[in-house]
Amino acid sequence: MSNEQRMVIVGASLAGASAAETLRDEGWTGAIVLIGSETELPYERPPLSKDVLLGKKETESAQLHDQQWYDDNNIELRLGTTVTAIDPAAKTVTLDDGSQRSYDKLLIATGSRVRQLDVPGADLPGVHYLRTAAESQTLTDAYAAKPRVVVVGAGWIGLEAASAARERGSEVTVVEPQSTALASVMGETVGGIYADLHRQHGVDLRFGTGVDGLEGTDKVTGVRTSNGEVIPADLVIVGVGVQPNTELAEAAGIEVASREDGSGIVTGPDLRTSAPDVYAAGDVVRWDHPLLGRSIRVEHWQNAKDTGKAAAKAMLGQDVSHDLIPYFFTDQYDLGMEYVGDVPRGMSPHVVLRGDPASGAYLAFWLDDDNHVLAGMHVNTWGAIDGVRDLIRSGRSVDPERLADSSVELAEV
């Protein structure tokens, strides 16, 4: 590619900023324009629901780079600016001020947004979501008063928010319509272990319970559940999932998967979309994974970094086949966990535990009907995750009994 050409990145997200950094690291000296709707410098999200909520760090600690870095690397950073349209034929993007910017290669890294709670009272003051740096700071400040907290949703964000609130001295109740914590991603067995962890730390868990409305006038005072109970609350945190921001791509005629198919901008292993010279990365991309043999979309931090880097290399004309195994981590109370792999939607895998969860240190594996390892995690068993990743990449069947036996090396199960 000629260095006189322009790379435009829509989304000053972790994926977008990682792509810009990779372009420079790979020797690209041409123009890079990084456009983002938020006014903050690009940042990582994990600290927002962990150390920042615990009051241990400021939101600025989550920034990838300071402004000087973007200046030094000659990256045009357009913050507080929204792209309203993409024209693949003209190879332009339209900004919210009506101006247009041309591109030679375009990366869509628009990320995802929180799903809103659609019940009466959901717009009351005191109802919070946790996605942006500003939202994290607001919650962090609110936690200082040790409010009565009700968390709606026992997914990862909900549980991390609950953990931080308890550690900072709040009374916490979690309301979840499913039968246990993390049921849709971890299943009943492991989800139940996480539920027990939170009970041990004093969290009141209400499973099999929906939310019919939020009480209050000037601010939220309670959560009305599907069984008619009103749970007192000074502060409500909603964590009911996210949805990818695919609207720009869809309006531009770029192929987007239906919600039934998992949503996301559809690409091949090289993260190239159906439009010429347009790529996608981060939460918004659903790509054909060459190792897993199916398309996947991943909403975690590591995926944003990895796909941002891979897309940048593909934009430079390099041969890219993105096959890294999805990775995720969480910290809750004294629990540290790392997870690798991907379980297809709708599948009911067999779960194998290695070690005693009551000890606080164990491994868990999710196997398909042929005993292939789809995913695995460790809890407080540091150094084990590479072996878990190797099992997944090998694609071989394992012996579940040997997998459960801690005396047998993972490479030999």
Last residue of a domain, one of 285, 315, 345: 315
pLDDT of residue 351: 97
In a domain, 78, yes or no: yes
pLDDT of residue 1: 64
Last residue of a domain, one of 220, 240, 260: 240
**Domain range spanning residue 231?**
116-240
Same domain? 52 vs 63: yes
In a domain, 322, yes or no: no
Same domain? 121 vs 183: yes
What is the domain count for the chain?
3
Which pTM does this prediction carry?
0.95
pLDDT of residue 215: 98
SS3 content of the chain, % helix, strand, coil (to 5): 30, 30, 40
Helix 156-167 and helix 133-143, axial crossing angle in degrees, nearest 10: 30
CB 399 within 8 A of CB 371: yes
Same domain? 81 vs 24: yes
Fill in the DSSP letter of residue 259. Answer: G
In a domain, 270, yes or no: yes
Same domain? 224 vs 267: no
Give percent above pLDDT 70 in the chain. Answer: 99
Per-residue pLDDT of the chain (413 residues; tens, 9 = 90+): 666 789 999 999 999 999 999 999 999 999 999 999 999 999 998 888 888 899 998 888 899 999 999 999 999 999 999 999 999 999 999 999 999 999 999 999 999 999 999 999 999 999 999 999 999 999 999 999 999 999 999 999 999 999 999 999 999 999 999 999 999 999 999 999 999 999 999 999 999 999 999 999 999 999 999 999 999 999 999 999 999 999 999 999 999 999 888 899 999 999 999 999 999 999 999 999 999 999 999 999 999 999 999 999 999 999 999 999 999 999 999 999 999 999 998 889 999 999 999 999 999 999 999 999 999 999 999 999 999 999 999 999 999 999 999 999 999 99
Same domain? 283 vs 295: yes
In a domain, 170, yes or no: yes
CATH number at residue 397: 3.30.390.30
Q: Position of tokens 């072996």?
A: 387
Kind plus residue range of the DSSP H or E element containing 158: helix 156-167
DSSP bridge pairs for 216: 220
CB 172 within 8 A of CB 149: yes
Rounded to the nearest angstrom, the gap between the alpha carbon of residue 94 and the centroid of all alpha carbons in its chain is: 27
CA-angle at 111, arms to 238 and 301, nearest 5°: 80
Same domain? 107 vs 249: yes
Could you tell me the two tokens for 179?
Answer: 């039968």
Same domain? 293 vs 360: no
In a domain, 36, yes or no: yes
Could you tell me the two tokens for 138?
Answer: 């607001």
pLDDT of residue 286: 98
* Maximum Cα–Cα distance across the chain: 65
Last residue of a domain, one of 280, 315, 350: 315
Same domain? 107 vs 146: no
pLDDT of residue 344: 92
In a domain, 326, yes or no: no
Same domain? 163 vs 270: no
CATH number at residue 156: 3.50.50.60
Same domain? 227 vs 257: no
Same domain? 386 vs 341: yes
In a domain, 407, yes or no: yes
CA distance 402 to 47: 37
Same domain? 121 vs 95: no
Per-residue burial over 83-109, b if 16 or more Cβ lie within 10 Å, else e, is beebebeebbbbeeeeeebebbbbbbb
In a domain, 321, yes or no: no
CA distance 233 to 148: 5
pLDDT of residue 4: 72
